Structure formats: structure tokens, C-alpha cells
Amino acid sequence: MSIHPLAVVSPHAELGANVRIGPFCVVEAGVVLGDGCQLASRVTVKSGTLVGRDNLVLEGTVLGGMPQHVHMPTHPGTVSIGDGNVFRENCTVHRALEAGHVTRIGNCCLFMVGAHVAHDCTVGNNVILTNGSMLGGHVEVGERAYMGGASAVHQFCRIGRLAMIGGMARVIRDVPPFVMLDGDSAMVVGLNKVGLRRAGFDSRDIVQLKAAYRAIYRSGLMWQEMLDLLRLQFPAGPAAEFLPFFLGGKRGFVQERRTPPGAIVRLVRDDADESMITLPEAEKKVG
């Protein structure tokens, strides 16, 4: 164990083997740091925070801060962090709002500079929150999901497993598993194929997910008809995850961004006669 002389560590904190704590860190009473954790300088770990093994926490990060709420709780909940996570500079993770509740982070996640996890969130394993991404209160994030830079998720939303959120997206509805959101429109633009392959999904899995994706977004079925189709045609395999996700939704679901049928020619304005002309005609005028 190594504790810098300029660190402030409560004698009532529980520190595992080979813990390293750098200068100007503060570790409050009731904190548990598992074996092999490393805190760089200016890290604060507050009461009610349980940190697992081999976590790396870099400068300026605060773990276990009080919830950001108009009515500050007298008896807040706790924070539970798994093993092997990396918190880059100036991240924040807040305690649950009420006693007996937990803000929970899994294993092997990466939180890049300035990422924020609000009270009562649940973050699965191998999740990546890139720079400046933010989770509102009570958000659930599935395993291997990816949050692009400066993206924000509204409270009580769910992000499905292996979903990819584009940078600066504003997520206000549930995001189904395996899909990809465009950062500009915050709408679905297809499957997260790169993420699926990296996670070990084979070609048969991806073909099945493509078929389910078409049933969900492009079949034109009514909501209940779509659910019935998923139940009948995809009882097993990765596509079977869609049905329980949809059945558990309360905020609605992100829709697909798709060019309307037939809109294959972009129109531009002709300044000479103020009429609309097709793109090929406009190119002739420019030439």
C-alpha cells in the first residue's frame, strides 16, 4: 500500500492490498477501495462508495458525490463500482437518491474526460462513455454500449446492449440493443455492425439481427403486430433480446432516420427565376 503524505485518508476507510493513493486525494470514512486500486492526484472518494479491484481513477474525478437534486436527501443511497474500470480526468459519479438504493457500475468500463453518471444509474460491463457524455438520473446502460462525445441521456431512459450513440446526440427515449444512433438527428441509422463483430457475433447472428431490424423498423406493422412477429420468429438467438426490451419500455423508443421513399433527387433553388430545379439541371447550369 502506498499513500502520499499530502493525501487525506480517513482511518475509517477500508483499503485493500496494493492500493496507491496520490497527492491531494481525499478518501472519506466508510469508503471501500479494493485490491490494486490507484488514485492519481486530486481524486475524491466520498462516503458510501464501494470500489472493486484494479480500478484506475485519474485527476479531478469525484466518486460518490451527493445527487444533484432540488431536494437534497438527508439519507442518500450508495455507489457500487466493479472491477477494472478506468475513470479519466474530472469524471463524476453520484450516490443514489434514497437510502437502500445504489448507483451501480459494472466491470471494465471506460469513462473518458468529464463523463458524468447521475444518481441511481445502472451501467453494465465494458461500457464506454466518451468525453463529456452525461447520464441523467435512473438511466440504464447495457453491456458494451458506447456513448459518443458530449451525448446526453434523459433521466429514466434505457440504452440497450451494444448500442452505439453518436456524438452530441440528445437521447430522450429508449434505445434498443444493437442499434446505432446518428449524433445529429439522434435517430436510429442501422445496426452497430462494427461493435457486433468486435463483440464476437458471427455472420448468422448478424443476419438474424438484420431480419429483426427490418421487422421492427421497416415492416409497416402496427405495434402489437410487430411484437407478435418478434415473439414468433425470434424466440432464440441475439434477436430474442428485442422483445423483452420493448415490453419493458415506458418512455417510448427511438425511431429510424430514413430518407422518404422516392426522395432520390435533391432539389435546389435557381436564383435566376426562383423556380425549383433538379440537381442534374443545376449541375449543367454551373458547368
Catalytic positions: 119-120, 137
Q: Which long-range contacts (CB under 8 A, 24 or more apart) does 19-28 make?
A: 28/64
Q: Which of 123, 57, 116 is nearest to 89 (CA)?
A: 57
Q: What is the number of residues in the chain?
A: 287
Is the four-CA dihedral 214, 217, 222, 226 of positive or negative sign? Answer: positive
Helix (H, G, I), strand (E, B) or coil at 256: strand
The three cell numbers locating residue 136? 441523467
Task: Assess contact for 282 and 267: CB atoms under 8 A.
Answer: no
Instruction: State the DSSP string of 212-231.
Output: HHHHHHTS---HHHHHHHHH
Say which residue the cell 421513399 belongs to: 261
Q: How far apart are CA 105 and CA 139, in angstroms?
A: 12
